[in-house]
């Protein structure tokens, strides 16, 4: 893979850089995030909190927990883990419901999550989640399931009434989560994934930036690979350079790199105020739509299979 690739469009010369500086990628990311805030009139960053909740035993040791982010009034469950010996005892449900209550009290309208077929596709429906769609681009029959749950004002007691109250075994939920506690949760989830897929989860980051012939910033994208799949993050083209096919060129270069790495499919997302039509022109199919955000915004879940 070369560091630079030159291309000509009409009378213009552009350069694709496949090992851009962190500053260049940060500029791409910041441009995308600024556009989301503009398109949502500042609502995208609300409530903008991270929800951390752990399950502790009678000695205060972490036996499980949940980590969630919140954007545009939706809580995204990113980590849910309970120690093997304490599973199937209702603690996972307590953690998720506790996190939901925190999200609700901070203005979240819904909760969303992804889970692999070897994780919790049956767990989430049991606690009120509805399917958005199923991603089937992974090898060996592995699928990934997207779920959503509308958060209701009457769904439960205030989180303050259930935190730090031990059950009959002395286990309790705690919102005082340290960095070390969070590491335990991430490591626990990671080990569970590795147990099922081995080293297959390992992949590579794909970062691309385009500059014009004078070195001026034009745009870029970010993606990464795992389990023989490309996971698209974001793309940005400066407004004055749009309509020249540069976004398509970046996407095709990204896919070329992914295919060389053994990828057979791609996963992407797009808000309705972004460019869902662009992805469809690039061969992506809609596998599900989330309507958990403030209307009229929706989020499209997309897949593209290479063969």
pLDDT per residue as tens digits for the range 153-175: 655 556 666 666 778 889 999 99
Helix (H) or strand (E) holding 36: helix 22-39
Low-confidence ranges of the chain (pLDDT < 70): 1-4, 153-164
Closest CA to 74 of 273, 302, 295, 303: 295
In this prediction, residue 3 carries a pLDDT of 62
3-state secondary structure of 14: strand
Residue located via tokens 């606690």: 127
Give yes or no for a contact between 185 and 77, defined as CB atoms under 8 angstroms apart.
no
Q: How far apart are CA 200 and CA 177, in angstroms?
A: 30
In this prediction, residue 292 carries a pLDDT of 97
What pTM was computed for the model?
Answer: 0.91
In this prediction, residue 8 carries a pLDDT of 80
Query: Residue 194 is encoded by which pair of tokens?
Result: 């590795």
In this prediction, residue 1 carries a pLDDT of 43
In this prediction, residue 10 carries a pLDDT of 77
Beta bridge partner(s), residue 3? none
Query: Residue 29 is encoded by which pair of tokens?
Result: 């990311």
Q: How far apart are CA 233 and CA 48, in angstroms?
A: 19
In this prediction, residue 162 carries a pLDDT of 64
Domains and CATH numbers, the chain: 4-41+201-305 (3.40.630.30), 44-109+151-198 (3.40.630)
In this prediction, residue 11 carries a pLDDT of 78
Sort residue 195 into left (φ over 0), alpha (ψ -120 to 50) or beta.
Answer: alpha
Question: DSSP assignment, residue 273?
Answer: T
């Amino acid at each position: 893979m070369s560091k630079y690739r030159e291309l000509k469009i009409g009378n213009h010369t552009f350069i694709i850089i496949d090992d851009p500086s962190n500053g260049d990628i940060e500029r791409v990311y910041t441009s995308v995030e600024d556009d989301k805030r503009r398109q949502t009139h500042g609502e995208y960053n609300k409530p903008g909190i991270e929800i951390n909740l752990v399950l502790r035993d009678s000695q205060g040791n972490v036996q499980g927990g949940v980590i969630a982010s919140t954007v545009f009034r939706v809580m995204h469950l990113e980590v849910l883990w309970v120690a093997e010996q304490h599973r199937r005892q209702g603690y996972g449900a307590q953690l998720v419901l506790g996190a939901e209550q925190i999200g609700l009290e901070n203005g979240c309208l819904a909760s969303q999550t992804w889970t692999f077929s070897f994780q919790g596709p049956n767990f989430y429906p049991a606690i009120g989640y509805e399917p958005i769609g199923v991603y089937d681009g992974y090898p060996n029959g592995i699928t990934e399931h997207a779920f959503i749950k509308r958060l209701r004002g009457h769904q439960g007691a205030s989180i303050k009434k259930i935190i730090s109250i031990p059950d009959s075994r002395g286990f309790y939920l705690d919102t005082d989560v340290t960095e070390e506690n969070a590491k335990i949760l991430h490591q626990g989830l990671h080990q569970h994934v590795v147990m099922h897929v081995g080293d297959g989860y390992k992949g590579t980051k794909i970062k691309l930036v385009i500059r014009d012939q004078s070195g001026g910033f034009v745009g870029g994208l970010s993606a990464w690979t795992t389990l023989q799949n490309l996971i698209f993050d974001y793309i940005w083209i400066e407004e004055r350079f749009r309509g020249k096919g540069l976004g398509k060129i970046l996407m095709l270069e990204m896919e070329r790199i992914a295919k060389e790495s053994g990828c057979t499919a791609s996963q992407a997302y797009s808000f309705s105020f972004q460019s869902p039509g662009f992805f469809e022109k690039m061969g992506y199919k809609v596998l599900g739509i989330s309507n958990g955000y403030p209307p009229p915004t929706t989020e499209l879940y997309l897949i593209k299979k290479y063969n």
